[in-house]
Structure 1
């Protein structure tokens, strides 16, 4: 069971049995944080507290708040990961260097700078049919990420399927279901967190 609490600025998914890990996730441009609640709820059900953030002006590049503004929403979390979708992922890359962060998760996104020396686990999830963060763009971003980054391409997935906000201009045509994408997201992100989390 997952408890969902939200305001205009954020959504917090709290597991029934939290394990001390947390994920700060930044929404894509002009996307409501609630649009990611279902796709990320499986991660929360597995024990990770998820804080979904609406960036300043709904545009992650304009975000100026420190990471602590978001982690403070779940003060019992002991180990944090950061992530984001599309432009939200670009901003998450900037937060990833924070000493409080244990890993980075990118949804149909890539880093604008060179994070190859980050020294932390990175997971890059992308969609085979993404018309915006295309497979070619994701492939071109590899050198900016650590050499041991885990790249997972979701078969048949489009850009907008990383959330639930409808069709997006310029996107490709999805040939898989939202339920399948949700399951794949849950499995990949949960695996990264479990293998990267500090032992008790």
Structure 2
């Protein structure tokens, strides 16, 4: 009986040790993320073109002029601070589109796939929605759109592609990546092209890379771009606005 008790205690200690290691590893993993730079922080301030409200689980950029009835929900890239996308969001808001960056749990869209539900519920003034996401955020933005085609009119994949097929989806889509992106490569797009919605427009920005979609410094494994971050974001915003006009 004593042997059995000791064995159970040993098993419990092993389970506890494994759990502790896993928990510590996860805590370290989520604490190591890309932070917004000074340019992104500056873009979080309201201007004559848009107002910014940072509250609860989202950052909302609301146009002050020529406001469109179409809104944009943005899912950030994996382990990237949501504020880092204030640059691209501010450019879209300045063009008249309410743009809402979702704050994902642990900075991972995997844990907040359905976050768009809350955004849509809080903005009844928006008549139609598109959802966009960068990198990992694009994967789960696509997943949300596929499962909520009654709510989403279009998807913008920024350096991203669907992990589950969206080929039968009714919404239109726009795929944008930089020619020097070494994290979402042209081969990645090609290998997953059959998963994109049939009505997808594919754009490659010459000289662009992966991390230029946000303002969070350099990203390990990516190539350096031959155009500025601001230039890439301006081109990206231009393509998105054109896409929205033709929905």
Work out whether the TM-score is over 0.5.
yes
Larger RCO (CA within 8 A; separation ≥ 6): 1
**Unpaired stretches in structure 2, ≥5 consecutive residues:** 1-48
The aligned residue for residue 169 of structure 1 is: 220
The aligned residue for residue 200 of structure 2 is: 149
The aligned residue for residue 53 of structure 2 is: 5
Matches within 5 A, 1:5-84: 5-7=53-55, 9-17=57-65, 18-84=67-133
Task: Output the CA distance in 1 between the equivalents of 2:94 and 2:223.
Answer: 30
Alpha carbons 2:74, 2:133 under 8 Å: kept? yes
Task: Output the CA distance in 2 between the equivalents of 1:157 and 1:188.
Answer: 14
1:1-51 residue CA offsets vs partner (Å, 9 max, x unmatched): 011121363211100131111010101111111111112222111111001
Alpha carbons 2:113, 2:141 under 8 Å: kept? no
Task: Output the CA distance in 1 between the equivalents of 2:170 and 2:114.
Answer: 24
Secondary structure of 2:237's counterpart equals helix
Secondary structure of 2:246's counterpart equals helix
Task: Output the CA distance in 2 between the equivalents of 1:67 and 1:12.
Answer: 13
1:187 aligns with 2:238: yes
Give the one of 210, 215, 220 matched to 1:159.
210
**Unpaired stretches in structure 1, ≥5 consecutive residues:** none
1:66 deviates by: 4.7
Task: Output the CA distance in 1 between the equivalents of 2:56 and 2:186.
Answer: 33
Distance verdict in 2 for CA 1:167–1:55, change over 3 Å: same
Distance verdict in 2 for CA 1:8–1:33, change over 3 Å: farther
Alpha carbons 1:121, 1:192 under 8 Å: kept? no
Alpha carbons 1:40, 1:182 under 8 Å: kept? no
Q: How many residues align?
A: 196
- Single out whichever of 182-191 and 80-89 deviates more from structure 2: 182-191
Alpha carbon RMSD of aligned pairs, Å?
A: 1.4
> Which has more helix, going by share of residues?
2
Distance verdict in 2 for CA 1:64–1:155, change over 3 Å: closer
1:74 deviates by: 3.0
The aligned residue for residue 129 of structure 1 is: 180
Secondary structure of 2:207's counterpart equals coil
Secondary structure of 1:67's counterpart equals helix
The aligned residue for residue 134 of structure 2 is: 85
Distance verdict in 2 for CA 1:49–1:145, change over 3 Å: same
Alpha carbons 1:23, 1:51 under 8 Å: kept? yes
Distance verdict in 2 for CA 1:110–1:5, change over 3 Å: same
